[in-house]
Amino acid sequence: MKRVLSIAGSDSGGGAGIQADLKSCAALGCFGMSAITATTAQNTITVTDIHEIPVSHVEAQIRAVLDDIGADAIKTGMLSSAAIIDTVATTLQSYRQPPLVVDPVMISKSGAHLLRPEAVESLKERLLPLATLITPNIPEAEELTGLRLTNEEDRSKILEALKELGPQAVLLKGGHADSDQSVDFLYDGNRVVAYPAARIETRHTHGTGCTLSTAIACYLARGETMEEAVRLAKEYLTQAIMHSEQLQIGQGVGPVHHGWNRG
């Protein structure tokens, strides 16, 4: 069984973060492992509190997993602070690195800031150059590049600017776009591949970014090419969103249905 390590925050509501990552791993037949960077008091409505884990313990978690079990892919989610980012980057650099998917989590669905503003530069300088793939949504891409996306020409500039930050490939997610379809764009420095999907009318989209990045990591761990891993992961997420109405969890932005494919 392929092993996937998630380095991310904990969502007490179970819809995003480490909880969503482990559910995605299980649904896709991978063995999920975790290094928790922060715990959040969170539900479908809001984030009421955030507690950062000491950096020494973040490092200890990563080393405990990699020294014994190892990993066929790693993904990062909520990293919260510059100190945590530096610790994660330094620790990962001391190992032979499998595919690394970086989800540059900045703001929760409820609007809570999950990355300190001063940590953005650390993310750009320390972690993004180590990434096999980064998966920003449009607001995150704009924050990382200082550019604004209003048309197709802007999108090309943003993809180029994101690639110049050092990752091997960029997946610009289209969920925040004002369009009938949600189109994600994969760019490896040579070509752009578009992944369109019908926009699904539902309020249950909590954890979509976590789920997609973890699913991509799972498929990369299983040996798929980057293009195929993104395609399969987007298909899995689309179905998870479509089946979210079966759950009806919480009073706010509910989670997607990670186990839709497990009956």
Catalytic residues: 173, 205, 207-210
| Spatial distance between the Cα atoms of 92 and 74, rounded to a whole number of angstroms | 10
Looking only at Cα atoms, what is the longest distance across the chain? Answer: 48
* Alpha carbon separation from 227 to 133, 192, 240 (Å, rounded): 11, 10, 20
Sheet order of strands, 181-187 included: 47-52, 31-42, 3-11, 73-76, 100-102, 133-134, 170-172, 181-187, 192-198
| Spatial distance between the Cα atoms of 140 and 146, rounded to a whole number of angstroms | 10
| Spatial distance between the Cα atoms of 133 and 100, rounded to a whole number of angstroms | 7
In this structure, are residues 220 and 15 in contact, taking their beta carbons and an 8 Å threshold?
A: no
Pairing, β 3-11 against β 47-52: unpaired
Beta strand spans in 116-190 (E) = 133-134, 170-172, 181-187
With a CB cutoff of 8 Å and minimum separation 6, the contacts of 249 are: 14, 15, 44, 204, 255
For 172, half-sphere exposure in the C-beta direction (CA atoms, 13 angstrom radius) is 26
The rounded Cα 166 to chain-centroid distance in angstroms is 17
